[in-house]
Amino acid sequence: METKSTNFPILKESEDLNFVRMKLDIAQEKLSNSAQTISVYGSLEKTIIEADKLSSEIEAMEDAIQMKQREIASLKLLSSDIQERRALIDKKLMALKYSLSSFSSSIGYFEQREVQARARKGPKSVEEMEQRLQNIIQEKEMLLEMKTNGRTEFENMILECHQCMFEAELKEEETKILEEELQMELRRITELETVKAAVTERKTQLLEATKCNSCFVSDQIEEELQNIRMSVLELKSLLGDDSQSPLFNSQYVKPNL
């Protein structure tokens, strides 16, 4: 009887230790679950930030692409205007070239008439012959002046034609560069949209995993931490520890997550 009575406290102590171990295992499991939950919420937060960043980057690139497309359209319009101006100059050059050729023929004709007028001793008076000669000389000088002016205009038009060619080539090169940049940006925005789609899908999965579709994402963590606190307090009571710990006995403050 004495042996049984002596062993009873030992058995009771063993049962209490086993119960404490069980409670510790439960508390450890709850801590593990809380850590996992916090990790999931952390991943969710990073995913949301990444998705917002991608959205902002895509929006900025879309604005840049629209601006570049307008710039390309403007350059093409300018190139078209330059080509039309060059075509008009080409027509004027052909007409002026023909006029200069006609002037040369006319000048030759008047030179022949001048020679003839100087060489003839017909019945007409000297005054009439001199007047006729003066008229021929004036017409010849007028044609020479027109020819000179025509050559100056021809040279100016040639310069303008070369200027048009230079401007057209410059606009064409600018357009090519912008179109290449535009294609690169279109490829980049396609890549970003692909990444954003993957991030959005990941965010949806995390939201479903946490069953959280509102801003109260800390509710589950708060509940688990409360359960852990109660388990620790229970263990302290079982171990006979009545000390006041500010960590567990103070008022619980909801974490900002």
Residue range 147-198, pLDDT digits in tens: 677 777 777 888 888 888 888 888 889 999 999 999 999 999 999 999 999 9
Alpha-carbon separation of residue 89 from 79, 99, 171, 249 (angstroms): 15, 15, 19, 95
Number of domains forming the structure of the chain: 1
Maximum pairwise Cα distance, the chain? 183
pLDDT winner (highest mean) among 83-92, 217-226, 241-250? 83-92
**Could you tell me if residue 254 is inside a domain?**
no
Q: What burial class does residue 244 get, using C-beta atoms within 10 Å of its C-beta: 0-12 exposed, 13-18 middle, 19+ buried?
A: exposed
**Could you tell me if residue 251 is inside a domain?**
no
**Could you tell me if residue 253 is inside a domain?**
no
**Could you tell me if residue 250 is inside a domain?**
no
Q: What burial class does residue 171 get, using C-beta atoms within 10 Å of its C-beta: 0-12 exposed, 13-18 middle, 19+ buried?
A: buried
pLDDT at 67 over 90: yes
Spell out the long-range contacts of 146-151 with Cβ–Cβ below 8 A and sequence spacing 24 or more.
146/103, 147/100, 147/103, 147/104, 147/107, 150/96, 150/99, 150/100, 150/103, 151/100
**Could you tell me if residue 257 is inside a domain?**
no
Angle between helices 2-119 and 126-210 (to 10 degrees): 170
Which pair of tokens denotes residue 208? 């479903």
Q: pTM, whole model, 2 decimals? A: 0.57
**Could you tell me if residue 120 is inside a domain?**
yes
**Could you tell me if residue 132 is inside a domain?**
yes
Residue range 8-60, pLDDT digits in tens: 566 566 776 777 778 777 777 877 777 777 777 788 889 989 999 999 999 99
Residue range 118-147, pLDDT digits in tens: 676 666 677 777 777 787 777 777 767 776
Q: Which domain holds residue 106?
A: 2-242
Measured distance between the N- and C-terminal CA atoms of the chain, rounded to whole angstroms: 61
CA distance 157 to 159: 5
- pLDDT reported for residue 236: 72
**Could you tell me if residue 248 is inside a domain?**
no
Residue-wise burial string across 123-132, b where 16 or more C-beta atoms lie within 10 A, e elsewhere: eeeeeeeeee
pLDDT winner (highest mean) among 57-66, 151-160, 199-208, 224-233? 57-66
DSSP label at 23? H
Q: Where residue 24 sits, what CATH number does that domain have?
A: 1.10.287
Distance of CA 130 to the CA centre of its chain: 81
- The Cβ of residue 13 has, within 10 Å, a number of other Cβ atoms equal to 10
